[in-house]
A and B are shown apart, each in its own frame.
Chain A
């Protein structure tokens, strides 16, 4: 049986999380998130060069004569290239292809989303986010409805919400970094990944708190620190086991899956890592410190 003194090193966890949390905020402020065309409207063209892929600057120059709005050129894979442009009509789309014809391109994918559709997608996504957040909040209220002293149910609620924020913000910060260097975008799939993290992470937190409640009702409350440590050690196997089995397939999706699922899986990977980290190293120590400070014990 593993017996790790979780609480002993809690200053280190707090420090690490503070750094990551602050770093994410800085990265979000400095780099910002680049919204995908599914949220803003615009077009995306993925092509593959049969011959050698020309440099980005050459492609840019080739297309400079066309009115494509503010467009970006980004290499993809070995021979591919992704162009992001304003919304294009079919004629404009064909003109773009015509300009690049000499490089023997093959069109892999073209997507053009007009303002009507993107605003509809935005509206739907917004209601999904609001409803999912409400549902999670409701779940927290129900899940922690009954607790025995010295724990207060609202304490558990506040800590859970904080850990959710932690688990969402850090992947977002990482996405912003990837956005700056690799052109990762904030798209509907990314939002879905974030919402999935919400459901997943609250789960881990509930498992931790459930164990603490269970043990607190059985054991002598005089040593709440021991109760917390025991609970964390008991749930350690489950928390690691579950998150690892979920992470394995996601890592394969990230490396082997195509462009569409790349950042979806990236966000999920970091969200799940944060989720298991906060359920093992953050929520219980915070609860411990909170209760200790109030001198309830």
Chain B
């Protein structure tokens, strides 16, 4: 009887733990615990994974680490501009890995990351007025911006001669502006350009788009200029930062791209959850049909197992990928294995005429070596997969290992105590139940 009492205490503890774990997994129900979302991989939430190779041939061996750090900084700044949550920029040897979740347009992102913001000054073409008139007419006739001719032509002055860019506020309008400071060579070019264009407008283009076209009042020396556009403060800050970041410290090339659209990510997630759910139901049905009451106990243990594993995924913040979910679903089937082993052995003992509590004890004792050894082989393989594998392999191995470890716990703690709690009850006498 003491044994039964002990197992009642154990069961109560397990159920209380399960209750909190379930709340943690699905917090919308009671809101007892802080809400922690599952961390989904790019393949499930949609996103882009880019690998860049840095060309370090022109960099001294000793300075390569520093060059990579500098590269990472610049890329990080650019990536942050996309406003995706928690972008990841990582250095891996001479490679740079960029991960962005849920980027709507990866093509645009790739363009932005790889580019140098190109600032240039353009002057009016000879027939400036003519073109402006013509453009006006085209627009009136219903033409689009594409049909217009650019009235400006490029000059020698561009962002390469830039020394510094900063955000300042206009003293007149108090709107944010960008102040530019050229280096010596740039200052000279700027002086020449303004001298040549007094009374005309000088356009400032960024990446081929005109930002502003102030009219030059007089020759400007000293190498300082302002860009007044219709900037919000944020835009002005981003622009100044991009201009300062300038060119990448080393050339990079994109060597691998993996983009999963948000639609596919969502579909994949739904599909795999559905597969997991139906798989789980079938396993439970099978267990109850074949093993009757112990099957029911095992199903309960399995449900507790699923809740514990899912809350563990949240606690240690496992990034769930398709491979990870596959590992988890596979571990559901394997988790039952321990129960099947215990019940099969228990049945044998009962058939040999032992009483219920002896059969539970013996069945467990005899099944344990097989449970341990069996899980050991899978854990061993999983450990190897995890330590040397690629990201797909790692995701799979991690969830599979977590699943196996928790399943051993659920066999020892959950199933065993549930079985023991039937000792001395009327149910233990009904043979067909077991």
Contact = CB atoms under 8 A, between A and B. Distances in A.
A179 B287 CA distance: 35
Interface centre among B268, B279, B369 (most CB of A within 10 A): B279
B377 A199 contact: yes
Interface string B226-268: 0000000000000000000000000000111111110110011
A250 B279 CA distance: 7
A263 to B, nearest CB: 12
A291 interface: no
B67 interface: no
Contact of B384 (A132, A206, A207): A132
Contacts of A17: none
A111 B380 contact: no
Interface in B347-392: 347-348, 351, 369-370, 373-374, 376-378, 380-382, 384-385, 388-390, 392
B385 A132 contact: yes
B333 A264 contact: no
Contacts of A261: 272, 322-323, 326
A71 interface: no
A35 interface: no
Main secondary structure of the interface of A (DSSP, over half): helix
A132 to B, nearest CB: 5
B384 A128 contact: yes
B322 A245 contact: no
A287 interface: no
A136 B384 CA distance: 11
A199 B378 contact: yes
Q: How large is the interface on B (under 10, 10 to 19, 20 to 34, 35 or more residues)?
A: 35 or more
Interface centre among B282, B330, B341, B400 (most CB of A within 10 A): B330
Nearest to B376: A139
Given A196-B330, A234-B348, A90 B377 contact: no
B396 interface: yes
Interface in A126-162: 127-128, 131-132, 135-136, 139, 143
B333 A245 contact: yes
Interface in B390-415: 390, 392-393, 396, 400
Contacts of B260: 108-109
Contacts of B263: 106, 108
A260 B43 contact: yes
Contacts of A139: 376-377, 380
Contacts of B36: none
Nearest to B298: A245
Contacts of B280: 249
B189 interface: no
B293 interface: no
A200 B282 contact: no
Given A46-B264, A253-B279, A90 B107 contact: yes
B290 interface: yes
Interface in B263-285: 263-264, 267-268, 271-272, 274-276, 278-280, 282-283
Nearest to B374: A203
A268 interface: yes
B101 interface: no
A107 to B, nearest CB: 6
Contacts of A241: 290-291, 336-337, 340, 344
A93 B108 CA distance: 13
A281 B52 CA distance: 52
A107 B257 CA distance: 14
A264 B326 contact: yes
A283 B418 CA distance: 36
Lowest 10 CB-CB distances: which A-B pairs, in order?
Answer: A249-B279, A246-B333, A114-B255, A199-B381, A108-B264, A241-B340, A252-B275, A248-B282, A256-B275, A245-B336
30 contacts: A38-B390, A94-B107, A110-B257, A111-B257, A111-B258, A116-B53, A116-B95, A124-B389, A128-B385, A135-B384, A136-B380, A136-B381, A192-B385, A195-B381, A196-B378, A202-B377, A210-B370, A234-B348, A237-B344, A238-B340, A238-B341, A242-B340, A245-B283, A245-B340, A250-B330, A250-B333, A252-B278, A255-B275, A256-B278, A261-B326
Interface of B: 43, 51, 53, 95, 106-107, 110-111, 254-261, 263-264, 267-268, 271-272, 274-276, 278-280, 282-283, 286-287, 290-291, 322-323, 326, 329-330, 332-334, 336-337, 340-341, 344, 347-348, 351, 369-370, 373-374, 376-378, 380-382, 384-385, 388-390, 392-393, 396, 400
Given A107-B259, A116-B95, 7 more contacts: A112-B258, A125-B393, A135-B381, A245-B337, A249-B276, A250-B333, A261-B272
